[in-house]
Protein backbone atom coordinates (compact mmCIF):
# COMPACT_ATOMS: atom_id res chain seq x y z
CA UNK A 1 0.00 0.00 0.00
CA UNK A 2 1.30 3.41 -0.91
CA UNK A 3 -0.06 6.88 -0.28
CA UNK A 4 -2.18 8.62 -2.92
CA UNK A 5 0.92 10.09 -4.60
CA UNK A 6 2.13 6.60 -5.48
CA UNK A 7 -0.94 4.57 -6.31
CA UNK A 8 -3.37 4.35 -3.39
CA UNK A 9 -6.86 5.60 -4.30
CA UNK A 10 -7.31 9.20 -3.25
CA UNK A 11 -6.07 12.68 -4.15
CA UNK A 12 -3.42 12.36 -6.82
CA UNK A 13 -1.38 15.52 -6.41
CA UNK A 14 0.08 17.72 -3.71
CA UNK A 15 -0.97 21.32 -3.19
CA UNK A 16 0.25 23.64 -5.93
CA UNK A 17 2.66 26.11 -4.26
CA UNK A 18 1.28 28.86 -6.51
CA UNK A 19 -2.15 28.36 -4.92
CA UNK A 20 -0.86 29.05 -1.38
CA UNK A 21 -1.61 32.64 -0.31
CA UNK A 22 1.43 34.74 0.67
CA UNK A 23 2.17 34.35 4.35
CA UNK A 24 0.27 31.08 4.65
CA UNK A 25 1.95 28.47 6.91
CA UNK A 26 4.19 25.90 5.25
CA UNK A 27 2.53 22.51 4.87
CA UNK A 28 3.88 18.96 4.70
CA UNK A 29 2.05 16.14 2.93
CA UNK A 30 2.27 13.39 5.54
CA UNK A 31 1.32 9.78 6.17
CA UNK A 32 2.00 7.07 8.76
CA UNK A 33 3.23 3.71 7.50
CA UNK A 34 5.16 0.51 8.13
CA UNK A 35 8.26 -0.44 6.12
CA UNK A 36 8.59 -3.86 4.47
CA UNK A 37 11.40 -6.24 5.35
CA UNK A 38 14.05 -6.89 2.70
CA UNK A 39 12.78 -10.40 1.88
CA UNK A 40 9.20 -9.18 1.62
CA UNK A 41 10.19 -6.35 -0.71
CA UNK A 42 12.12 -8.78 -2.92
CA UNK A 43 9.13 -11.13 -3.03
CA UNK A 44 6.82 -8.21 -3.86
CA UNK A 45 9.13 -7.22 -6.72
CA UNK A 46 9.11 -10.79 -8.06
CA UNK A 47 5.31 -10.95 -7.90
CA UNK A 48 5.03 -7.60 -9.62
CA UNK A 49 7.41 -8.73 -12.38
CA UNK A 50 5.34 -11.90 -12.90
CA UNK A 51 2.12 -9.91 -13.24
CA UNK A 52 3.72 -7.30 -15.50
CA UNK A 53 5.00 -10.01 -17.85
CA UNK A 54 1.54 -11.59 -18.12
CA UNK A 55 -0.57 -8.41 -18.20
CA UNK A 56 -1.64 -6.67 -21.42
CA UNK A 57 0.98 -4.13 -22.49
CA UNK A 58 0.64 -0.55 -21.24
CA UNK A 59 -2.43 -1.46 -19.19
CA UNK A 60 -0.90 -0.78 -15.76
CA UNK A 61 1.28 1.90 -14.18
CA UNK A 62 3.36 -0.15 -11.77
CA UNK A 63 4.44 1.09 -8.36
CA UNK A 64 8.20 1.22 -7.74
CA UNK A 65 8.87 -1.56 -5.19
CA UNK A 66 11.32 0.60 -3.24
CA UNK A 67 8.51 3.11 -2.67
CA UNK A 68 5.99 0.58 -1.38
CA UNK A 69 4.89 0.83 2.25
CA UNK A 70 2.00 -0.45 4.31
CA UNK A 71 0.11 2.77 4.94
CA UNK A 72 -1.70 2.99 8.27
CA UNK A 73 -3.20 6.44 7.78
CA UNK A 74 -2.86 9.26 5.28
CA UNK A 75 -3.05 12.77 6.71
CA UNK A 76 -2.76 14.96 3.64
CA UNK A 77 -1.40 18.44 4.25
CA UNK A 78 -0.18 19.11 7.80
CA UNK A 79 1.12 22.48 8.99
CA UNK A 80 4.89 22.02 9.17
CA UNK A 81 5.12 23.73 12.56
CA UNK A 82 2.85 21.03 14.02
CA UNK A 83 5.02 18.08 12.98
CA UNK A 84 6.79 17.82 16.39
CA UNK A 85 3.40 17.90 18.11
CA UNK A 86 2.12 15.23 15.72
CA UNK A 87 5.15 13.06 16.48
CA UNK A 88 4.52 13.35 20.21
CA UNK A 89 0.87 12.45 19.74
CA UNK A 90 1.79 9.37 17.69
CA UNK A 91 4.41 8.36 20.25
CA UNK A 92 1.77 8.45 22.99
CA UNK A 93 -0.81 6.60 20.89
CA UNK A 94 1.63 3.83 19.95
CA UNK A 95 3.05 3.34 23.45
CA UNK A 96 2.72 -0.26 24.58
CA UNK A 97 2.51 -1.71 21.06
CA UNK A 98 4.81 -4.69 20.52
CA UNK A 99 6.44 -6.05 17.38
CA UNK A 100 4.56 -8.66 15.36
CA UNK A 101 4.90 -10.65 12.14
CA UNK A 102 3.27 -10.21 8.73
CA UNK A 103 3.58 -12.13 5.47
CA UNK A 104 2.64 -11.48 1.85
CA UNK A 105 -0.56 -13.10 0.58
CA UNK A 106 -2.31 -13.52 -2.78
CA UNK A 107 -2.86 -10.73 -5.31
CA UNK A 108 -6.21 -9.00 -5.67
CA UNK A 109 -7.76 -5.83 -7.05
CA UNK A 110 -9.98 -2.91 -6.08
CA UNK A 111 -12.87 -2.67 -6.57
CA UNK A 112 -12.97 -6.25 -7.92
CA UNK A 113 -11.21 -8.69 -10.24
CA UNK A 114 -14.02 -8.14 -12.73
CA UNK A 115 -13.24 -4.42 -12.91
CA UNK A 116 -9.72 -3.89 -11.54
CA UNK A 117 -8.52 -0.35 -10.94
CA UNK A 118 -5.83 -0.96 -8.30
CA UNK A 119 -3.76 -4.17 -8.16
CA UNK A 120 -2.47 -5.22 -4.76
CA UNK A 121 -0.94 -7.95 -2.63
CA UNK A 122 -2.82 -8.98 0.47
CA UNK A 123 -1.30 -9.70 3.86
CA UNK A 124 -1.58 -12.44 6.44
CA UNK A 125 -0.07 -13.04 9.84
CA UNK A 126 -0.96 -11.20 13.03
CA UNK A 127 -3.70 -9.10 11.47
CA UNK A 128 -5.31 -8.40 14.85
CA UNK A 129 -2.12 -6.66 15.96
CA UNK A 130 -1.98 -4.79 12.65
CA UNK A 131 -5.55 -3.53 12.98
CA UNK A 132 -4.84 -2.41 16.55
CA UNK A 133 -1.71 -0.59 15.38
CA UNK A 134 -3.66 1.11 12.60
CA UNK A 135 -6.39 2.25 14.97
CA UNK A 136 -3.84 3.64 17.40
CA UNK A 137 -1.94 5.45 14.65
CA UNK A 138 -5.17 6.92 13.28
CA UNK A 139 -6.16 8.12 16.75
CA UNK A 140 -2.73 9.66 17.30
CA UNK A 141 -2.89 11.50 13.97
CA UNK A 142 -6.46 12.74 14.37
CA UNK A 143 -6.86 16.48 13.98
CA UNK A 144 -3.47 17.13 12.38
CA UNK A 145 -4.16 16.66 8.65
CA UNK A 146 -6.81 17.83 6.23
CA UNK A 147 -7.59 14.33 4.91
CA UNK A 148 -10.41 12.32 6.49
CA UNK A 149 -10.42 8.63 5.56
CA UNK A 150 -13.97 7.31 5.26
CA UNK A 151 -13.18 3.78 4.09
CA UNK A 152 -12.52 0.81 6.32
CA UNK A 153 -8.88 -0.24 6.67
CA UNK A 154 -8.08 -3.03 4.19
CA UNK A 155 -4.41 -3.95 4.66
CA UNK A 156 -2.68 -4.36 1.31
CA UNK A 157 0.39 -3.36 -0.69
CA UNK A 158 -0.33 -1.56 -3.95
CA UNK A 159 1.41 -3.06 -6.99
CA UNK A 160 -0.02 -0.81 -9.68
CA UNK A 161 -2.91 1.21 -11.07
CA UNK A 162 -4.85 0.21 -14.17
CA UNK A 163 -4.52 2.89 -16.85
CA UNK A 164 -7.06 1.63 -19.39
CA UNK A 165 -10.84 1.27 -19.35
CA UNK A 166 -11.03 -0.84 -22.52
CA UNK A 167 -13.39 -3.67 -21.51
CA UNK A 168 -11.53 -6.57 -23.13
CA UNK A 169 -8.18 -5.47 -21.71
CA UNK A 170 -9.65 -4.98 -18.24
CA UNK A 171 -11.20 -8.47 -18.29
CA UNK A 172 -7.91 -9.99 -19.43
CA UNK A 173 -6.09 -8.19 -16.64
CA UNK A 174 -8.56 -9.51 -14.08
CA UNK A 175 -7.89 -13.05 -15.33
CA UNK A 176 -4.13 -12.51 -15.01
CA UNK A 177 -4.51 -11.41 -11.40
CA UNK A 178 -6.85 -14.30 -10.55
CA UNK A 179 -4.41 -16.87 -11.99
CA UNK A 180 -1.30 -15.41 -10.37
CA UNK A 181 0.46 -17.86 -8.05
CA UNK A 182 0.87 -16.94 -4.40
CA UNK A 183 4.07 -15.03 -3.66
CA UNK A 184 6.95 -16.97 -2.09
CA UNK A 185 6.99 -17.05 1.72
CA UNK A 186 8.41 -13.76 2.94
CA UNK A 187 7.50 -12.97 6.53
CA UNK A 188 8.90 -9.92 8.26
CA UNK A 189 8.82 -8.41 11.70
CA UNK A 190 6.92 -5.15 12.09
CA UNK A 191 9.21 -3.51 14.63
CA UNK A 192 8.62 0.20 14.03
CA UNK A 193 6.18 2.71 12.59
CA UNK A 194 7.32 5.69 10.51
CA UNK A 195 5.92 9.16 9.96
CA UNK A 196 6.69 10.11 6.35
CA UNK A 197 6.44 13.21 4.26
CA UNK A 198 5.72 12.95 0.55
CA UNK A 199 7.45 15.29 -1.89
CA UNK A 200 6.30 15.32 -5.50
CA UNK A 201 9.12 15.45 -8.04
CA UNK A 202 9.05 15.27 -11.85
CA UNK A 203 9.68 11.51 -11.84
CA UNK A 204 7.23 10.77 -9.02
CA UNK A 205 6.82 11.11 -5.28
CA UNK A 206 9.76 10.75 -2.89
CA UNK A 207 9.08 9.65 0.68
CA UNK A 208 11.26 10.92 3.54
CA UNK A 209 11.09 9.72 7.15
CA UNK A 210 10.22 12.47 9.63
CA UNK A 211 10.12 10.28 12.75
CA UNK A 212 10.32 6.60 13.66
CA UNK A 213 8.51 4.90 16.55
CA UNK A 214 10.01 1.58 17.73
CA UNK A 215 7.60 -1.13 18.86
CA UNK A 216 8.09 -3.46 21.78
CA UNK A 217 11.32 -5.44 21.67
CA UNK A 218 12.66 -3.18 18.91
CA UNK A 219 12.65 -0.26 21.34
CA UNK A 220 16.05 -1.36 22.70
CA UNK A 221 17.69 0.63 19.88
CA UNK A 222 16.20 3.75 21.50
CA UNK A 223 16.32 2.97 25.25
CA UNK A 224 13.60 5.38 26.25
CA UNK A 225 11.21 3.91 23.69
CA UNK A 226 10.78 7.45 22.40
CA UNK A 227 10.34 8.52 18.82
CA UNK A 228 13.56 8.73 16.80
CA UNK A 229 14.02 11.74 14.51
CA UNK A 230 16.46 11.22 11.61
CA UNK A 231 19.13 13.90 11.34
CA UNK A 232 18.16 14.56 7.74
CA UNK A 233 15.68 13.51 5.09
CA UNK A 234 18.27 13.01 2.40
CA UNK A 235 16.22 10.84 0.09
CA UNK A 236 13.54 8.22 -0.37
CA UNK A 237 13.14 5.45 2.14
CA UNK A 238 13.85 1.89 1.05
Catalytic residue at 156?
Answer: yes
Say if residues 14 and 29 touch (Cβ distance below 8 Å): yes
Residues in the chain: 238
In angstroms, the CA 159 to CA 47 distance is: 9
Q: Which helix (H) or strand (E) holds 199?
A: strand 192-201
> Residue 222 pLDDT more than 80?
no
The whole-number average pLDDT for the span 150-164 is: 94
- Mean pLDDT across 169-186: 95
Provide the Cα torsion 151, 7, 158, 164; round to 10°: 100
Question: Which residues, in sequence order, are bridge partners of residue 31?
Answer: 74, 196
Contact 68, 157 (CB under 8 A): yes
pLDDT at 204: 77
Q: Has residue 189 been placed in a domain?
A: yes
Residue 14's pLDDT is what? 34
Given 50, 69, 131, 147, the catalytic residue: 69
At residue 18, φ and ψ (nearest 5 deg) are -70, -20
Gap between the Cα atoms of 153 and 16, Å rounded: 29
Residue 184's pLDDT is what? 86
Sorting pLDDT into bands at 50, 70 and 90, what band is 151?
A: confident
Whether residue 32 is contained in a domain is answered as no
Task: Tell whether 237 is covered by a domain.
Answer: no
Residue 10 pLDDT > 80: no
Whether residue 79 is contained in a domain is answered as yes
In a domain, 214, yes or no: yes
**Which residues have C-beta within 8 Å of that of residue 223, sequence separation ≥ 6?**
none
Max Cα–Cα distance, the chain, nearest Å: 57
Residue 142 has pLDDT above 50, yes or no: yes
Kindly report which listed range (4-18, 49-63, 101-115, 205-219) carries the lowest average pLDDT score: 4-18
Active site residue 222: no
pLDDT of residue 219: 43
For residue 110, is it within any domain? yes
Active-site choice (50, 131, 156, 222)? 156
Q: What is the mean pLDDT of residues 42-57?
A: 96
Task: Check residue 162 and give left, alpha or beta (phi > 0: left; psi -120 to 50: alpha).
Answer: beta
CATH number at residue 91: 3.90.1140.10
- CB neighbour list of residue 124: distance below 8 Å, 6 or more residues apart: 102, 103, 104, 105
Q: How many domains does the chain have?
A: 1
The domain containing residue 163 runs over which residues? 4-8+38-221
What is the pLDDT averaged over residues 92-121?
A: 97
Average per-residue pLDDT for the chain: 85
What is the pTM for the complete model shown? 0.80
- Does 227 fall in a domain? no
Average pLDDT over residues 118-126: 97
Mean pLDDT of 91-109: 97
22 belongs to a structural domain: no
Question: What's the average model confidence in pLDDT over 41-48?
Answer: 96
Amino acid sequence: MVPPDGGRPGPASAMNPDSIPPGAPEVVRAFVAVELGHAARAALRAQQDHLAAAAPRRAVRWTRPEQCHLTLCFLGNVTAARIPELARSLETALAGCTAFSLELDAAGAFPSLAAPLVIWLGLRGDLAALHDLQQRATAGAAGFGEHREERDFHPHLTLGRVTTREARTVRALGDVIARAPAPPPAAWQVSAVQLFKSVLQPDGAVYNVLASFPLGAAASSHPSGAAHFPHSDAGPSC
